[in-house]
């Protein structure tokens, strides 16, 4: 009887040890799945004639966005008349747009043409980081560009001091540091969730709201953090821009010269147009509750601010700005003369 009792105790201990090993293995497998597995991105288009046409339009717009922003940076760099604070900040905006649209669109194009829709866990994290980094940096830069317009119109005599080269560089550095801080927080918090369910992301790139839908854990607390960061990165700059332009409007209404009012409003209208095109879709994506979203609508909105807006920015500034148009004509004439020689 004693032998049987001892044997039973040993068997129970062995079963408990095996159960513990199984649980540890399950936790290990679960962690490995979250950290090393790949995701699958859904394509925006299928191979129907209509979708092939839409895909061609998106590719064309991407090429135009890259060409326009590269041309804007080049013009501002080579033309001495454009070496002013406003155009320095505008060149930084174009520089951000070049990389912002390149984070997502090339992967989407390759996925459609070759069927390479999978993306590794690390690749998804990298894409998410650079997307949020460049997007937040552009939000902050647009707000600081409103300050530049405020100083130029409301304090023109102090403009060289308030918008010195050191101040402009500090503005750019601030936008880049703010964007990197926002992206680091969001990426780290998003990737710490276990993703043990479906690997299919209902989006054409790794964006935080779409990725959180695959998490097999409660994300309610993190969604509140996401909302708070959205307020800081989106609503606070919008409040700053609104205040700046309210003061600008008061100053413009006090101007006696009709030509001066027209010039001030033309410059400000370009910036306001870009602000509305960029901030509007981002507020929809990151500030509205999930119940207002659907995969189809999210795709359309994301295409708008990742492809269309970067393409429109240089067009808006060049068409409404005589100095940029003049610099472009000057470069074209030089190219013609060089070719004829």
pLDDT at 165: 92
The answer to whether 229 and 134 are in contact (CB under 8 A) is no
Give all domains of the chain, ordered by start, each with its CATH number. 37-340 (1.20.1070.10)
The answer to whether 205 and 107 are in contact (CB under 8 A) is yes
Please tell me the distance from the alpha carbon of residue 219 to that of residue 212, in angstroms, as a whole number: 7
pLDDT at 19: 37
pTM above 0.75, yes or no: yes
pLDDT of 99 over the 90 cut: yes
Instruction: For 121-167, write each residue's pLDDT tens digit.
Output: 899 999 999 999 999 999 999 999 999 999 999 998 999 999 999 99
Instruction: For 18-60, write each residue's pLDDT tens digit.
Output: 434 444 343 334 333 444 468 888 877 877 888 889 889 999 9
pLDDT at 16: 44
Average pLDDT, integer, range 290-307: 79
pLDDT at 21: 42
Please tell me the distance from the alpha carbon of residue 236 to that of residue 256, in angstroms, as a whole number: 33
- In sequence order, what are the residues at sequence separation of 6 or more whose Cβ sits closer than 8 angstroms to the Cβ of residue 318? 68, 72, 324, 325, 328
pLDDT of 282 over the 60 cut: yes
Least confident stretch, 78-92, 223-237, 319-333 = 319-333
The answer to whether 126 and 39 are in contact (CB under 8 A) is no
Average pLDDT, integer, range 244-264: 84
pLDDT of 231 over the 70 cut: yes
pLDDT at 243: 94
pLDDT at 200: 86
What distance lies between CA 17 and its chain's CA centroid? 50
Confidence of residue 171 (pLDDT cuts 50, 70, 90): very high
Tokens 């001892």 locate to 6
Residue bearing the bigger pLDDT, 153 or 260: 153
Residue bearing the bigger pLDDT, 260 or 203: 203
pLDDT at 15: 44
């Amino acid at each position: 009887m004693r032998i049987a009792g001892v044997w039973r105790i040993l068997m129970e201990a062995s079963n408990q040890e095996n159960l513990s090993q199984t649980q540890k293995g399950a936790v290990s497998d679960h962690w490995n799945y979250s950290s090393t597995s790949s995701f699958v991105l859904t394509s925006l288009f299928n191979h129907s004639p209509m979708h092939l046409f839409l895909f061609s339009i998106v590719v064309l717009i991407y090429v135009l966005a890259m060409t326009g922003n590269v041309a804007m940076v080049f013009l501002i760099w080579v033309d001495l008349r454009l070496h002013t604070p406003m155009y320095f900040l505008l060149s930084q905006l174009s520089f951000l747009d070049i990389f912002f649209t390149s984070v997502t669109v090339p992967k989407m194009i390759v996925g459609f043409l070759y069927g390479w829709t999978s993306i590794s866990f690390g690749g998804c994290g990298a894409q998410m980081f650079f997307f949020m980094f460049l997007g937040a940096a552009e939000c902050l830069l647009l707000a600081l560009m409103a300050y530049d317009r405020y100083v130029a119109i409301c304090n023109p005599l102090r403009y060289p001091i308030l918008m010195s080269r050191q101040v402009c560089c500090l503005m750019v550095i601030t936008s880049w540091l703010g964007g990197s801080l926002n992206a680091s927080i969001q990426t780290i918090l998003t990737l710490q969730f276990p993703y043990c369910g479906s690997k299919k992301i209902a989006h054409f790139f790794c964006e935080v709201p779409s990725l959180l839908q695959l998490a097999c854990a409660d994300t309610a607390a993190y969604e509140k953090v996401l909302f708070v960061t959205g307020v800081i990165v989106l609503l606070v700059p919008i409040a700053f821009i609104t205040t700046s332009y309210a003061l600008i409007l008061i100053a413009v209404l006090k101007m006696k010269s009709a030509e001066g009012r027209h010039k001030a409003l033309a410059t400000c209208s370009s910036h306001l147009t870009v602000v509305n095109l960029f901030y509007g879709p981002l507020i929809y994506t990151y500030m509205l509750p999930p119940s207002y979203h659907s995969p189809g609508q999210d795709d359309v909105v994301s295409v708008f601010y990742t492809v269309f807006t970067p393409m429109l920015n240089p067009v808006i500034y060049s068409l409404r700005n005589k100095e940029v148009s003049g610099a472009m004509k000057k470069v074209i004439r030089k190219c013609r003369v060089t070719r004829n020689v």
